[in-house]
Amino acid sequence: QNGILGANFIKNTGLLIDLKNNKCKFEFNPSKSVDLLQNTCNNMLNVNHCYKIGCSESTQQVLKIIGEFPEVFTDRLGNTLDYEYKIKLKDDGIVKLRPYPLNPIKMARMKEVINELMDQQVIEPSLSEYSSPAFLVGKEPGKERLVINYKQLNDKIEAVNYPIGDLHSLYQHLHGNRYFSVIDLSKAYNQIRIAAESQTLTTFSVPFGSYKFKRLPFGLLVGSGVLSAYLDSVLGHLKFKCVLTYLDDIIVYSNNLEDHYKHLREVLSCLKNHNLTANVEKVKFCFKEINFLGHLVSENSLKIDPDRTVNIQQSRRPKNKKDIARFIGMTSYFSKFIENFAKIAAPLNAMRKKCAIFRWTEECEQAFQTLKKCISNPPVLAIPDFNKEFTLQCDASNQALGACLLQESDNGGLKPVSYYSRKFTETEEKLSTYHKEALAVVCSINKFREFLEVRRFHLVTDNSALSWVLCNHNKLGKLGRWVETILSLPFTVKHVKGQDNVTADYLSRLFTETEEVDGDVLRKVAEHANSEIGDGVPDEKLCVDNKAMINNVNSFGPFLSKDLETEQSRDEYVTTQKSHLSDKNKNSGFWLNKNILFYTSLRSKTPKIVLPESMFETVFEYFHSGPSGGHFGVNKTLKKITGTFYHPELCDFIKLRVKKCTVCLSSKPSNWRDRGNLHSNISTRPLQKLYIDIFGPLPKSSGLNEYILIMVDDFSKYNWIVPLRKVTSGTVLKALEENVFKLFGLPEQIVSDNATYFTSEEFRTKLFQWGVKLLTTIPYNPQGNKSERYLRNLNAILTCLYHDKKRAWDSEFCKIQQAINSCVNDSTGQSAYSLLFNYMPNNELDLKWNLKVLFEDVVKESNCERYAEALKQVNKQFVRNAKMRPYCRNHRSFKVNQEVFCRIPGHKNKLDRKYDGPYRIAIIVSENSFIIQHTENLNLIKRVHLQDLKPA
């Protein structure tokens, strides 16, 4: 059917009529013409369909504007005549890869695509030595597009660090605007020219030739940054005034139609002046609601675009952890629309954990379906109005914090702008209620700072104590610093009852359920650990032969000899001494108890079993080489064995065997180093001072541990050693509490080095709450921490025992700890175990040979006597060491204001400077400890040890 065109229409649209040829065309696109007297109406409908116009009253005005800018709305691809980009390389390496093979159908389509790009002057043939492979992507035949694999080239290109824009921040500028237009640039990357010297780098290859880009190709690392920077230079003066840009999308927004027409002309004029063209099929004009970056934007609201959720609604049930991760990734993009998103997704997130086994449960299915339903019917969020006040609701539970940002709507009620919640970390869960409430406010303010820093806002909380905190922040340490963050913004506090603070309260309780590791995983770990350690051999399979017994003693405990009495009866020395017992004139110190020969010296008055020479090797292996022995040195091994056994040749035998132990010789470092003069700071009772330190990382054990926490009592020298999977302030505090404090009480002081997990605010605060004083050693001076020496011993023990089975190093910690604590300490003259508990622990020999029965008549010393003797021995040992120190190394002394140089710790290269300075001695803390100040940078003050200084 033919239509009749009116004069007004012809005038407004700029219609050009060619009656001679029965054709007509429009000024905005003169290259295309249509039949004048056939299907004219249909062609006009096509024009209106091409340019989607949201308001019918705007059609004529929009078409007029389009007619004013035919250079923008054209099939011709734009070309930035005023700008070109030069690619910068990190190195000169050549990227040369073979082309991908193509089947005949794809080959024909590839030729079509190449010809189209050559016609548009985007590419041209190339003989460059560079070459990246190309392929086609696309679901529909005939609509595939060209993609270049620039992965290796991107590794050599310097990135363009230009911000492309934050999606959530962009929406804030749209409030109060009623009309929106979207202009999509046509192949935006291909409109930006590349410098001639950079074009060869973009060369790509196909089976029938090589081509280089004259314009910026899609797929280069720098693409998004270059495009964003260029559009900002083109539209920067209009950005956030009436224009937003995100990559190749341009949104024009206005409060009324007159302003909108003006803004459209300004934007199109900028595009025309820079020779940029738009994609005619995707432009939209004068809509009251538009789709921008997956969201439906209207005057005062923000919604999810239903078209973007189709894939989520059609998602199939996940079959593995990767499927879950993909689904959570798709849905979390819209999490700000969904209240309680974290709680709903919790069962799915639990299965994403590294230790979790994929098992689809009813809870997972419910979470999966609920998220799909919430995405299908999401709530509407308000677009923030920065001319109005915001209300921030905050709350904290034991496990999490929650917040909701609201703003008053036109009808007077509060409407949500965004939701926020997160789970507390292990460290944060241990904070007090005041700390958690303050932390909830701090985190929420930091999350929504861009909204709140403009004008005064209302802070709503259900904790009345927070008001006191805000007024007394100068007295509260970390809490005070948090409050200073809060007070940096203008706000008023409003206290509400917990039952009235529903939203924030509920968000803060999303994570109250206990998270447990799957039982099957724990069982598998346990089975794996057991397989590493191995099962014991039944007693009856043990050989009676001494050599076999010695080989087995390390793995299976003490050997089973016929009995101690039988071995003594076979020993020549023992039988000789037994024969002299009848001679009352000889007071040799030997005596019988239950047919076992004992010896008591006049000096020590400690009864000892006379050990037959045939048992020397076996006893030595048990007390030195096994887990209960620990490969200690001569003195400790000697005192451990001779504390129970006696033989005139036993000491020489032990000394010789220890010195020839190949495991000890290959595993232990030298002990001698000069550390300055000795200073005594001796405790007078157990748990007066506790030294702690961390050893590791070690090879990951079958129990998944990599570190060891060692704790040493200063007085008794008692050691606690605890394996750890990771080292944080929280794990150290937990180990201290469970292994020492709960069982033995709190120490008065704890001494550590300056590691962050020992000096953190969490660690200091917790010790302060317990009433324990924390002391730290001088930086880079580990010898100030007495646990360092025991760490060296522990390292030697583990190396000796587990050098060939490194994953089992934590399998027998109880035995190793007992071995360390049952040794006689050089400084106290007694074992740590006996000093702390006033008796020695049972070992396998005691129980197998029933040794406790033999000693049951011996009178025990009191604790006071033991402590006095230990303190006396410690002082004697200190005096002995102090006397020996001057012979080891000449001692330097420094004076106040003397200039010195300070050793630089941790230098790795031999050409690095070893010392920094000059400094001056500011304060002499002790003979070995100094506080120094840099002579030029007076703010640089350090506490250092004598060994790190040398005169200037």
Residue 795 is inside which H or E element, if any? helix 787-802
Q: What span, in angstroms and rounded, lies between the C-alpha atoms of 521 and 355?
A: 7
For residue 947, the 8-state DSSP code is: G
Domain with residue 351: its CATH number is: 3.30.70.270
Report the pLDDT value the prediction gives residue 555, as an integer from 0 to 100: 35
Residue whose token pair is 């409109």: 191
Domain with residue 763: its CATH number is: 3.30.420.10
Distance from the first to the final alpha carbon of the chain:
104
Average pLDDT over residues 897-921: 77
Where are any strands of DSSP class E within 763-912? 773-776, 899-903
Identify whether residues 417 and 285 lie together within a single domain. Answer: no
70 burial type by CB count under 10 A (0-12 exposed, 13-18 middle, 19+ buried): middle
Report the pLDDT value the prediction gives residue 59, as an integer from 0 to 100: 87
Length of the chain measured in residues: 952
Q: What span, in angstroms and rounded, lies between the C-alpha atoms of 673 and 685?
A: 29
Identify whether residues 186 and 39 lie together within a single domain. Answer: no
Query: Which range is most confident: 263-267, 668-672, 791-795?
Result: 263-267
- Mean pLDDT check: name the lowest of 210-214, 285-289, 292-296, 642-646: 292-296
Q: What span, in angstroms and rounded, lies between the C-alpha atoms of 89 and 339?
A: 47
User: Which residue stretches of 26-174 are H helix?
Assistant: 40-50, 59-68, 104-119, 151-154, 167-170
Largest Cα–Cα distance of the chain, in whole Å?
154
Inter-helix orientation angle 362-376/321-332, to 10°: 30
pLDDT, tens digit (0-9, with 9 covering 90-100), for 714-743: 888 888 899 999 999 999 999 999 999 988
Domain with residue 922: its CATH number is: 2.30.30.140
Judge whether 301 and 381 are in contact, CB under 8 Å. yes
Identify whether residues 649 and 757 lie together within a single domain. Answer: no
- Mean pLDDT check: name the lowest of 144-158, 459-473, 575-589, 778-792: 459-473
pLDDT band at 899 (very low <50, low <70, confident <90, very high): confident
Identify whether residues 146 and 291 lie together within a single domain. Answer: yes
Residue whose token pair is 């570190």: 707
Judge whether 811 and 533 are in contact, CB under 8 Å. yes
Q: What span, in angstroms and rounded, lies between the C-alpha atoms of 517 and 506?
A: 25
User: Which structure tokens are listed for 451?
Assistant: 């909204």
pLDDT of 540 over the 70 cut: no
Report the pLDDT value the prediction gives residue 527, as an integer from 0 to 100: 37
pLDDT of 241 over the 80 cut: yes
Decide if 523 is inside a domain.
Answer: no
pLDDT, tens digit (0-9, with 9 covering 90-100), for 427-436: 887 777 767 8
Judge whether 840 and 834 are in contact, CB under 8 Å. yes
Report the pLDDT value the prediction gives residue 911, as an integer from 0 to 100: 62
Measured over the CA atoms of residue 193, residue 195, residue 197 and residue 202, the dihedral's sign is negative
Report the pLDDT value the prediction gives residue 285, as an integer from 0 to 100: 92
Decide if 138 is inside a domain.
Answer: yes
pLDDT of 510 over the 50 cut: no
Identify whether residues 818 and 917 lie together within a single domain. Answer: no
Judge whether 193 and 83 are in contact, CB under 8 Å. yes
pLDDT band at 381 (very low <50, low <70, confident <90, very high): confident
Q: How many other β-carbons are positioned within 10 Å of the β-carbon of residue 420?
A: 20
pLDDT of 92 over the 70 cut: yes
Q: Which domain holds residue 589?
A: 540-667
pLDDT, tens digit (0-9, with 9 covering 90-100), for 797-807: 888 888 778 88
Q: Which of 351, 352, 373 shows the shortest CA–CA distance to 361? A: 351
DSSP letters, 165-222, are --HHHHGGGGTT--EEEEEEBTTGGGGSEE-HHHHGGG-EEETTEEEEESBPPTT-TT
Q: What span, in angstroms and rounded, lies between the C-alpha atoms of 860 and 47?
A: 109
Distance of CA 646 to the CA centre of its chain: 57
User: Which structure tokens are listed for 149?
Assistant: 């694999």
Decide if 617 is inside a domain.
Answer: yes
pLDDT, tens digit (0-9, with 9 covering 90-100), for 37-83: 543 333 333 344 467 888 888 888 998 999 899 999 988 899 988 88
Identify whether residues 269 and 140 lie together within a single domain. Answer: yes
User: Which structure tokens are listed for 883?
Assistant: 């006397």
Measured over the CA atoms of residue 638, residue 639, residue 641 and residue 645, the dihedral's sign is positive
Q: What span, in angstroms and rounded, lies between the C-alpha atoms of 231 and 218?
A: 16
Report how many domains make up the chain: 7
Are β-strands 290-292 and 295-297 bridged in parallel, bridged antiparallel, or unpaired?
antiparallel
| Angle formed at CA 26 by CA 23 and CA 30, multiple of 5 degrees | 85
- The CA dihedral of 746, 747, 750, 756, to the nearest 10 degrees, is 0
Decide if 517 is inside a domain.
Answer: no
Identify whether residues 706 and 746 lie together within a single domain. Answer: yes
pLDDT of 698 over the 80 cut: yes
Domain with residue 568: its CATH number is: 1.10.340.70
Q: What span, in angstroms and rounded, lies between the C-alpha atoms of 684 and 714?
A: 9
pTM, entire model? 0.43
Q: What span, in angstroms and rounded, lies between the C-alpha atoms of 903 and 901?
A: 7
Judge whether 389 and 456 are in contact, CB under 8 Å. yes
State the number of CA atoms in the 13 A half-sphere of 367 facing the CB: 22
pLDDT band at 858 (very low <50, low <70, confident <90, very high): low
User: Which structure tokens are listed for 170?
Assistant: 């962009």
Query: What is the overall mean pLDDT for the chain?
Result: 76
Decide if 883 is inside a domain.
Answer: no
Report the pLDDT value the prediction gives residue 548, as an integer from 0 to 100: 37
Average pLDDT over residues 606-614: 86
Which of 252, 274, 299 is the endpoint of a domain? 299
Decide if 73 is inside a domain.
Answer: no
Output b/e per residue, 208-236; b: 16+ Cβ within 10 A: eebbbbbbbbbbbbbbbbbbbbbbeebbe
C-alpha distances (whole Å) from 358 to each of 292, 312, 518, 531 are 37, 21, 10, 25
Identify whether residues 217 and 334 lie together within a single domain. Answer: no
- Mean pLDDT check: name the lowest of 163-172, 386-395, 410-419, 606-615: 163-172
Decide if 770 is inside a domain.
Answer: yes
Report the pLDDT value the prediction gives residue 882, as an integer from 0 to 100: 59
Judge whether 420 and 448 are in contact, CB under 8 Å. yes
Identify whether residues 458 and 348 lie together within a single domain. Answer: no
Decide if 526 is inside a domain.
Answer: no
Q: What span, in angstroms and rounded, lies between the C-alpha atoms of 340 and 335?
A: 9
Q: Is 917 helix (H, G, I), strand (E, B) or coil?
A: strand
Identify whether residues 814 and 760 lie together within a single domain. Answer: yes
Radius of gyration of the chain (CA): 41
473/831: higher pLDDT? 831
Identify whether residues 291 and 184 lie together within a single domain. Answer: yes
Q: Which of 858, 279, 300 shows the shortest CA–CA distance to 840? A: 858
Q: Which of 183, 359, 156, 203 shows the shortest CA–CA distance to 279? A: 183
Q: What span, in angstroms and rounded, lies between the C-alpha atoms of 568 and 612?
A: 5
User: Which structure tokens are listed for 39?
Assistant: 């299907």
Report the pLDDT value the prediction gives residue 500, as an integer from 0 to 100: 54
State the number of CA atoms in the 13 A half-sphere of 849 facing the CB: 25
Output b/e per residue, 595-614; b: 16+ Cβ within 10 A: ebbbbbeeeeeebbbbbbbe
363/524: higher pLDDT? 363
Identify whether residues 503 and 385 lie together within a single domain. Answer: yes
pLDDT of 508 over the 70 cut: no
pLDDT, tens digit (0-9, with 9 covering 90-100), for 99-149: 999 888 889 999 999 999 999 999 999 999 999 999 988 756 677 889 899
